[in-house]
């Protein structure tokens, strides 16, 4: 094409203007056609704007100090958790609770974790949501030792820690029920070469808003 011929630049400009209009129109159509599917997928993956649960778990303290025949390293944990949405599938929240071993004679353990967590939720089937996450914790711990004879010896401390966890939740409107599992590690007591790292698993009931 001879650019020196009269009208050539005008023809090129008109041609590319038509091409750009068609491309823009096609892009707008694609966006409008795919947007409902994207929004639907995001909505289905959510655990609501916020969610709460009451947890009843079996807990096992894993430090070797509790391997003694007189020490019971397992027991019961009760906790409450709450989360708020920060993106379609990402939630930030926390958990507080109390764990204790079931012991008659030996080491009596009381464990009060305070957790800050981040979790990611996805829907695996209709009304079933799987989430997994991690966080940091600051826990009050107390261990009392009662021998056959002599006074009770007690140590207590606040210890830092972290946790990894996963949950399976079934939603029925606003009501939820599910399973949970978590491994939590803690630093040792300041005055003893022992910590209260633990794993726990159990059931939970809650609400999704």
Using CB atoms within 10 Å of the CB of residue 97, give its burial: 0 to 12 exposed, 13 to 18 middle, 19+ buried: buried
pLDDT tens for each residue of 135-181? 999 999 998 876 666 667 888 999 999 999 999 999 999 999 999 99
Domain ranges of the chain: 1-44, 47-208
Residue 88 near residue 45, CB atoms below 8 Å? yes
- Taking residues 119-125, report their average pLDDT: 92
pLDDT tens for each residue of 70-103? 567 889 999 999 999 998 899 999 999 999 987 7
* Residue pointed to by tokens 């990402």: 90
Angstrom distances, CA of residue 159 to CA of 138, 144, 183: 6, 17, 16
* Residue pointed to by tokens 């004679």: 105
What's the token pair of residue 33?
């056609």
How far apart, in Å, do the first and last CA atoms of the chain sit? 65
Residue from 203, 109, 115 nearest 163 by CA: 115
How far is 135 from 184, CA to CA, in rounded Å? 9
| DSSP symbols for 38-103 | HHHHHHHT---SEEEEEEEEEEEE--GGGGSTT---EEEEEEEEEEEEEETTEEEEEEEEEEEE--
- Taking residues 114-119, report their average pLDDT: 97
Structurally, at CATH architecture level, domain 47-208 sits in Beta Barrel (2.40)
| DSSP symbols for 106-117 | SEEEEEEEEEEE
What's the token pair of residue 81?
């958790």
How far is 204 from 167, CA to CA, in rounded Å? 9
pLDDT tens for each residue of 14-69? 655 555 556 556 655 554 444 444 444 445 547 999 999 999 999 999 988 776 66
- pLDDT greater than 90 at residue 9: no
């Amino acid at each position: 094409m001879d650019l020196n011929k009269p009208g050539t630049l005008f023809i090129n400009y008109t041609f590319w203007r038509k091409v750009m209009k068609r491309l823009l129109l096609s892009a707008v159509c694609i966006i409008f056609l795919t947007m409902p599917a994207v929004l639907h997928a995001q909505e289905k993956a959510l655990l609501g704007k916020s969610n709460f649960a009451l947890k009843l778990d079996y807990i096992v303290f894993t430090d070797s100090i509790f391997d003694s025949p007189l020490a019971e390293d397992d027991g019961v944990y009760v906790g409450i958790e709450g989360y708020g949405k920060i993106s379609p599938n990402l939630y930030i929240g926390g958990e507080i609770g109390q764990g204790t071993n079931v012991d008659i004679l030996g080491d009596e353990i009381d464990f009060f974790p305070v957790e800050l967590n981040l979790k990611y939720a996805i829907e695996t089937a209709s009304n079933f949501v799987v989430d997994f996450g991690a966080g940091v914790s600051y826990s009050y711990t107390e261990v009392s030792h009662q021998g056959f004879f002599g006074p009770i010896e007690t140590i207590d401390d606040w210890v830092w820690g972290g946790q990894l966890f996963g949950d399976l939740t079934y939603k029925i409107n606003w009501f939820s029920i599910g399973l949970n599992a978590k491994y939590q590690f803690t630093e040792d007591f300041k005055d003893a070469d022992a910590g209260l790292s633990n794993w726990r698993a159990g059931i939970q009931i809650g609400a999704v808003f």
